[in-house]
Structure 1
Amino acid sequence: MTNVVAVVGGRAAAFELGVVCQAFGLDRSDDTAGLPSYDFAVCSPDPGPVMTTSGFPIQVDHGLDRIAEADLITVPAWPEMDRAAPPLLLESLRGAAGRGARVLSVCTGAFLLAESGLLDGRRATTHWQFTDRLAERYPEVKVDSDVLYVEDGPVITSAGAAAGIDACLHLVRQEHGAATANALARRMVMPAHRSGGQAQFIEMPMPTPAAEDGLSDLIDWMQANLDQPLTVDALASRAAMSPRTFARRFKAATGTTAHRWLLDQRLQLAEELLERTDLTVDAVAGRAGFGSADTLRHHFAARRGVGPATHRRTFRSA
């Protein structure tokens, strides 16, 4: 994946476009972390000045012919979701997917993909405010309102703007491996992987653990001791809480359970070790806190769809 384009219409969603630009649109050819650079452009059915939803214009120099060159077509939200899209744009999206390009939408960008027919029969998501509308308007789409992003074939759809970052990091991980995705996440001051789904944001936002929660230091300690047998009772004792209080506060602070958080962190560590070291699968399992290679294989296959050895062959750097 070397060529990326962002598609905007009569109006552009400034923040969502910025998300895509941050992930794929910066020249990182001289980056000491070895982050990838892409041939990136913004295109529109009507090139020229395009007004953003924030009230300032941007200059778009490329037309829809730019889509025909791209390996990845991104739709960073689609503010005009209640208006019919230009037929040539819909045709261009279908043509790109037909030749094997990948397509990624952020937030309401899913409405444009649904209108083009690319989501027919596929799982997809959008911002929780609009999932019911998407399902009602396009009954052929299998709308999943609980996820931050979902990949179905060559199409990735994501929820609100921040979930677009999650989706972009997921794609970078697939294309370049865990180490590159983690380095990019650190550069963006983002977690490389967020657990849970967007349902946690409907009633209240997910707070960041604060020092007064009694969990911030503990979570840092957990991150540094993933190879240890970290039970809920032991963690609760370390946090000077009852197991029930600890479980409640941990979920409130992170949006997930301690068990799920540990599993995600251990899988992420295992990915990095498989890609960057010569450790055996048994040694990786021990270092990442799974205890045995069989346990690692079970969780790796359940979450990633492949075994550790296959992942290593796919993503191992030369």
Structure 2
Amino acid sequence: MSIPKIALFIYPNIPLFHFSVPQTIFNIEIEGQKLFEVTTFSVDGMPIRTEKTVMIQADGGLEQMLDADLVIIPGWDDIHQKPDHELMTALQKVHEKGIKIVGLCYGAYPLAYAGLLDHKQVTTHWAGSADFKQKFPCVNLDKDALYIEDAGIITSAGTGAALDCCLYIVGEIYGAKIANKISRLMVIPTHREGGQAQFIEQPISTMTYDTEINRLLDYLRHNLSKPHTIEELAVYSNMSRRTLTRHFKHATGLPIVTWLNNERLRYAAELLEVTDYSIDKIAESAGFNTAVLFRKLFKNKYGTNPNHWRKNFNQQLSSSDEYS
């Protein structure tokens, strides 16, 4: 059985990390055996200079794609710049031929410019999501997913998610056991599921302009495990229910219940990362009535379940699991 051939695109000013992730993962050998045959290609087959002035030698030009089983576009230098016509035409031919194409991070842009992503489910780096949606309204963008495969095209979120996407590809071809071996060799967690959220850390507003609301926020943060009603909080704040809900929304931008659930989920995520508490105990500590409700709200917010979150972010437990 011949090993899969991967054609890895290089372009002027390519970030070294974007290039090195697929170059490293797909060149790893397991027990002395190559898993993939990796070649690099540029538009004209000439060497390119990276953003850090490192030169990368190309194995050939666009013709390399037509002989590959998988074509990878690792990012893009300028999201406002259309690819060369020759590259877009070649990508279209490759897709028509049924060769799988991968756009890592902003690598979704050249694929979209080439018209390959219309009406497909895709993702890209969260920082470019607004621009991407504006430029390509016919593409179904999921700004939260780590990676998505749809109709022979795989797209991934930014930088770190490229690792997950590449490990996913390894797993699809060789199985989870080999993908896990590679992740151990690289000393990184096993790959995260594609539907998992990108874990963008949103800034948490600890203070507002409203002194009374600030006092209430402090009270709630110190009493997350306790049940709360709007009536009780209104009494605590010396306001009517209607006045409290109006002031709270105006100060924080969120209804009280939404804000409280977000704080409870944030705290629960911290407990998953730094403790070995059971899911039931974490749900109780964070103020959720049942573990079932906690799991549902956690999945809705973060796109993954509490156990997967813990597996990826609780380093102590993850390390022990590696060798169990």
CA distance in structure 2 between the aligned counterparts of 1:262 and 1:16, rounded to whole angstroms: 27
Alpha-carbon offset, residue 263 of structure 1: 10
CA distance in structure 1 between the aligned counterparts of 2:81 and 2:287, rounded to whole angstroms: 49
Which segments of structure 1 move beyond 4 Å, counting only runs of 4 or more?
A: 245-248, 259-264
Contact kept? 2:12, 2:51, Cα under 8 Å: no
Contact kept? 2:170, 2:178, Cα under 8 Å: yes
3-state SS of the aligned residue for 2:133?
A: helix
* RMSD over equivalenced CA pairs, Å: 3.2
In structure 2, relative to structure 1, the CA distance for the partners of 1:202 and 1:22 (3 Å cut) is: same
| Structure 1 equivalent of residue 306 of structure 2 | 258
- Higher CA-based Rg: 2
| Structure 2 equivalent of residue 72 of structure 1 | 70
Aligned sequence identity (%): 29
Alpha-carbon offset, residue 20 of structure 1: 0.7
| Structure 2 equivalent of residue 3 of structure 1 | 5
CA distance in structure 2 between the aligned counterparts of 1:62 and 1:172, rounded to whole angstroms: 24
| Structure 1 equivalent of residue 17 of structure 2 | 15
In structure 2, relative to structure 1, the CA distance for the partners of 1:232 and 1:130 (3 Å cut) is: same
Task: Say how many residue pairs are matched.
Answer: 234
CA distance in structure 1 between the aligned counterparts of 2:94 and 2:132, rounded to whole angstroms: 23
Q: Which runs of 5+ in 1 are unaligned?
A: 220-230, 265-318
Alignment of 1:138-157 (within 5 A): 138-157=136-155
The alignment's TM-score, normalised by the length of structure 1, stands at 0.65
Contact kept? 1:4, 1:40, Cα under 8 Å: yes
User: Structure 2 counterpart of 1:188, which letter?
Assistant: M
Alpha-carbon offset, residue 25 of structure 1: 2.9
CA distance in structure 1 between the aligned counterparts of 2:108 and 2:122, rounded to whole angstroms: 8
CA distance in structure 2 between the aligned counterparts of 1:214 and 1:2, rounded to whole angstroms: 41
Q: Which runs of 5+ in 2 are unaligned?
A: 204-265, 313-324
1:244 and 2:286 aligned:
yes
Contact kept? 1:68, 1:96, Cα under 8 Å: yes
| Structure 1 equivalent of residue 279 of structure 2 | 232
3-state SS of the aligned residue for 2:169?
A: helix
CA distance in structure 2 between the aligned counterparts of 1:245 and 1:57, rounded to whole angstroms: 55
3-state SS of the aligned residue for 2:40?
A: strand
In structure 2, relative to structure 1, the CA distance for the partners of 1:232 and 1:39 (3 Å cut) is: closer
Name which of structure 1's ranges 88-97 and 190-199 shifts more when overlaid on structure 2: 190-199
CA distance in structure 2 between the aligned counterparts of 1:258 and 1:35, rounded to whole angstroms: 36
Alpha-carbon offset, residue 11 of structure 1: 2.6
3-state SS of the aligned residue for 1:60?
A: coil
In structure 2, relative to structure 1, the CA distance for the partners of 1:81 and 1:35 (3 Å cut) is: farther
| Structure 2 equivalent of residue 48 of structure 1 | 46
Contact kept? 2:73, 2:102, Cα under 8 Å: yes
CA distance in structure 2 between the aligned counterparts of 1:214 and 1:262, rounded to whole angstroms: 9
Deviation per residue, 1:100-141 (Å, 9 max, x gap): 111111111000010111111101111111011111111111
In structure 2, relative to structure 1, the CA distance for the partners of 1:63 and 1:140 (3 Å cut) is: same
User: Structure 2 counterpart of 1:201, which letter?
Assistant: I
3-state SS of the aligned residue for 2:19?
A: helix
